[in-house]
């Protein structure tokens, strides 16, 4: 496999407070990698460092062999990286269809955009049923499907997901987890998944990094970490 993404000794501060302390992670093409840990551990800060939303203080970010830190957020999207932010940021008064089209703002290929829309509707049939409905009237789970669909409209090679299960009914969490697996498998999209729901994250990823206060505490194969006593105690609330 080809290395797609790597962070090397990345440090990031918010108002002189460490958010990331010498973090190094990597992701191969075709992989789904999970970042697990408590709220405030630094998981989302890694995504913000990758996407250029926050400038790193030191270290390097590489994507497909080229330096990514210092590249503008808009150009990072054009390189094939799409992010689904925490909190389901939707345009509430716009239709579902128009919300999805916002994900294709860097594209000009109208026929291919239409094909991408059909793929999203096949992936999430509820969105097709509600295509003309205002996005703000959808349930939390449906909005999450929509923002994932919106990211897919950019035709990414790398999909960054920030807490996709947050505040969503358990039944829909399962649906979203299955969709993430299918997207990676069927559309050849690599995934970096940030999740407090460690069980879900470990169950659908190839590898994982467990974070603690801005640094990597543990890393390894996800299936093995699921049964690691340290992970059970710190991230899974005891025995599974």
pLDDT of residue 240: 34
Q: Would you say residue 81 has pLDDT above 90? A: yes
Residues 226-234: what's their mean pLDDT? 84
**Which structural domains are found in the chain, ordered by start?**
3-235 (3.40.50.300)
Q: Would you say residue 122 has pLDDT above 80? A: yes
Q: Would you say residue 40 has pLDDT above 70? A: yes
Assign 238 a pLDDT band (cuts: 50, 70, 90). Answer: very low
Query: Count of alpha carbons within 13 Å of 160, Cβ hemisphere only?
Result: 20
Assign 105 a pLDDT band (cuts: 50, 70, 90). Answer: confident
Q: Would you say residue 117 has pLDDT above 50? A: yes
Whole-number average pLDDT of the chain: 91
* Its pTM surpasses 0.75: yes
Q: Would you say residue 63 has pLDDT above 60? A: yes
């Amino acid at each position: 496999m080809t290395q797609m993404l790597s962070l090397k000794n990345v440090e990031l501060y918010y108002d002189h407070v460490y958010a990331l302390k010498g973090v190094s992670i990597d992701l191969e093409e075709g992989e789904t990698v999970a970042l697990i840990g408590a709220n405030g551990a630094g998981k989302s800060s890694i995504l913000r460092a990758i996407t250029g939303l926050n400038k790193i203080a030191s270290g390097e970010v590489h994507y497909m062999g080229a330096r990514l830190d210092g590249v503008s957020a808009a150009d990072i999207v054009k390189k094939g990286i799409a992010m689904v932010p925490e909190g389901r940021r939707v345009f509430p008064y716009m239709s579902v269809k128009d919300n999805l089209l916002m994900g294709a703002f860097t594209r000009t290929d109208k026929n291919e955009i239409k094909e991408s829309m059909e793929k999203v509707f096949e992936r999430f049939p509820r969105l097709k049923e509600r295509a003309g409905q205002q996005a703000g009237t959808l349930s939390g789970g449906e909005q999450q499907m929509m923002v994932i669909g919106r990211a897919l409209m950019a035709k990414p090679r790398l999909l960054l997901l920030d807490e996709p299960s947050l505040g969503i009914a358990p039944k829909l969490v399962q649906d979203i987890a299955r969709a993430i697996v299918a997207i990676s498998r069927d559309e050849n999209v690599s995934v970096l998944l940030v999740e407090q729901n460690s069980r879900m994250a470990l169950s659908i990823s190839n590898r994982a990094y467990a974070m603690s206060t801005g640094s990597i505490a543990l890393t390894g194969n996800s299936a093995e970490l699921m049964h690691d006593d340290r992970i059970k105690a710190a991230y899974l609330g005891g025995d599974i």
